[in-house]
Copies of this chain bind each other. A is one copy, B any other.
Amino acid sequence: MISAPRRAGRKRSATAHRAILGAALAIARKKGYRALTVDAIAEAAGVGKQTIYRWWPSKAEVVLEALAERSRARIRAPGIGTLAEEVAGFLAQTFRALNGPHGTGPVFKALMAEAQLSSAFAARFRAALIDHRRAALAEVFTRHGVAPERHGLLLDLAFGPVWYRLLLAYAGLDEDFAREVAASVAHAAAY
């Protein structure tokens, strides 16, 4: 690289950036996504509203970034085992994050809802939170010699039931469910 464009002017405040992400996530978790307003974020973060609008097009994107930041760290390479074991491990790991006391489950659901109401947001939602996990699981498929053209289907078979339970709450996300889904995916992979 020869030179960065380096424009004049005050730099973006890292403090404000962090405070906004933190406040957004805190409010969404404590009061619920419904109570999350841009004014509330601004006040909680000690920030002007314009500072939020300068960097994010909507409050949903703020929450998305906050969640993505914390989410990214949690995805680890699954341990070694059969395909079914690895998929089950991967899903169980995801469930722990969603179920925890500071569980991100409700926030994930709210973002999924936003994604249905705004296609612009939907694209970013997928890119920041969904594609990520799909890629991690696809990597497992590759490692186990699954033909790439079947990855899309298998990912839908793996993540679909999880999201369905999360969104409609017909049953909880536990280790048994992880195993059952994983078994189903493994069979479809072999088929």
Contact = CB atoms under 8 A, between A and B. Distances in A.
Contacts of A188: 180, 183-184, 187
A191 to B, nearest CB: 7
Interface string A154-175: 0111011111110111110000
A115 interface: yes
Interface in A173-191: 177, 180-181, 183-185, 187-188, 191
A135 interface: no
A173 B188 CA distance: 18
B110 A168 contact: no
For the complex formed by this chain, how many copies does it contain in all? 4
A97 interface: no
Interface residues of A, number: 40
Given A113-B113, A116-B109, A157 B171 contact: no
Contacts of A159: 164
Contact of A160 (B118, B130, B164, B169): B164
10 contacts: A34-B117, A112-B113, A112-B116, A113-B114, A113-B116, A156-B171, A161-B161, A184-B188, A187-B187, A187-B191
